[in-house]
Amino acid sequence: MDCIQLTGIRAYGYTGFLPEEQVLGQWFQVDLTLWLDLSKSGSSDRIEDTLDYRNAIETVKQLVKTSKFALVERLASAIAEALLELPAHPDQPVVEQVRVQLSKPAAPIPDFGGRITIDITRTR
């Protein structure tokens, strides 16, 4: 199966377990792998024959910006669900599987300067 990888999608959002995370917000980073058939677009060289990944990027950004979940696991799942449901035009392939890597680069945890990443894979 072919795939499109989109990395470094950044958006400011309000998901988090602590009340201040849902009020003050924080930055999130999302990396995606979208599995779909790219054989037609590989031959035709037409955007109509592939997934316009601008739609996938905008979907992720809107979900991060507007969601107020307690857990990043729920946000990652919501992103995966939305990407699997992206509308397909008659000639456009459908995303069959998606991998979402959702990171909190600055989690509000005392004495922790690392990054927290949720990594999920969902299939249609």
Positions marked catalytic: 104
Give dist(CA 47, CA 55) in Å, integer: 12
CA quadruple 43, 44, 48, 52: dihedral sign: positive
Q: 3-state class of 84 per DSSP?
A: helix
- The encoded tokens of residue 106 equal 């600055």
- Amino acid occupying residue 68: K
